[in-house]
């Protein structure tokens, strides 16, 4: 299911990120900030349990989170979302999946995977700013399912209709979170208007 996070501050910061004049430092900061702002919504349905704590004035019946969390950035650009999210979820374990798109075929190629054990007892959040054809994300989701993950959330910044449809078709159980949804892909698989190549803008490569 798609969750489009329409919030003035998120949209404002995303507009700044999209601008072609925005350079590495600001681009990096904005990506972390938007990712952090998205945490409020992506954690909305996390399980909680009843607990009693002692305040300076007495007992308080309250609640705390009742799940482990694993963050899985897709290399490279997903790395740019980790700090913003893990600041708010400091106990989260972090796995990494390396996937790049073949420039000609747009097929996702997996080149690295290092994941925590026991994914089945955690909520797993995949991080990748761009959901274009959906090839990279669907491959990462399948890899995580094969490793035992049950509850998976896909957290992206900008999505194209093609990528959203692909995930909804391949993995209808996965919640998708986006800060922006754009019109289409161009003929080389880039999101239009999008923000260009997220990895290159984040790391200063071409």
**Among residues 65 and 106, whose Cβ is nearest to ligand PRP?**
106
Distances (CA, A) of 47 to 16, 50, 65: 34, 10, 6
Ramachandran region, residue 200 (left: φ > 0; alpha: ψ -120 to 50; beta: rest): alpha
- How many Å separate Cα 64 from the centre of its chain? 23
- What is the C-alpha radius of gyration for the chain, rounded to an integer number of angstroms? 17
Q: How far is the CB of 150 from ligand PRP (least distance, A)?
A: 23
User: Among ligand URA, ligand PRP, none, what binds residue 106 when CB lies within 5 to 8 Å by partner kind?
Assistant: ligand PRP
DSSP β-bridge partners for residue 72 = 126
Q: What mask of x and - would describe binding to ligand URA in positions 129 to 168, judged by CB under 6 A?
A: -x-x------------------------------------
CB of 153 to ligand URA, least distance (A): 20
Hey, which residues between 119 and 148 contact ligand PRP (CB under 6 A)?
Answer: 128-137
Using an 8 Å Cβ cutoff, are 38 and 101 in contact? no
Strands 184-185 and 191-192, bridge-based pairing: antiparallel
Two tokens at 155?
């957290």
Q: What residue 191 binds from ligand URA, ligand PRP, none (CB within 5 to 8 A, per partner kind)?
A: ligand URA
158 binds ligand PRP (CB under 6 A): no
Rule CB under 6 A: which residues touch ligand URA? 130, 132, 190-191, 194, 197-199
Looking at the annotation, which residues are catalytic?
101, 105, 197, 200
């Amino acid at each position: 299911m798609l969750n489009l996070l329409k919030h003035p501050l998120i949209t404002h910061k995303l507009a700044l990120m999209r601008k072609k004049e925005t350079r590495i430092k600001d681009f990096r900061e904005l990506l972390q900030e938007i990712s952090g702002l998205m945490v409020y919504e992506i954690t909305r349905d996390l399980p909680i349990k009843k607990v009693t704590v002692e305040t300076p004035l007495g007992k308080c019946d309250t609640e705390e989170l009742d799940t482990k969390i694993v963050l899985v950035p897709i290399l490279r650009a997903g790395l740019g979302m980790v700090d913003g999210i893990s600041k708010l979820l400091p106990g989260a374990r972090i796995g990494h999946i390396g996937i790049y798109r073949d420039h000609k075929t747009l097929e996702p190629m997996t080149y690295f995977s290092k994941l925590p054990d026991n994914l089945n007892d955690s909520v797993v959040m995949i991080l990748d700013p761009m959901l274009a054809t959906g090839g990279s994300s669907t491959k990462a989701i399948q890899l995580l399912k094969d490793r035992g993950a049950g509850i998976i959330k896909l957290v992206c910044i900008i999505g194209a209709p093609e990528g959203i449809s692909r995930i909804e078709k391949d993995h209808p159980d996965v919640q998708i979170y986006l800060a922006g949804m754009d019109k289409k892909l161009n003929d080389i698989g880039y999101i239009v208007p999008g923000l260009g190549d997220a990895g290159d803008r984040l790391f200063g490569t071409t």
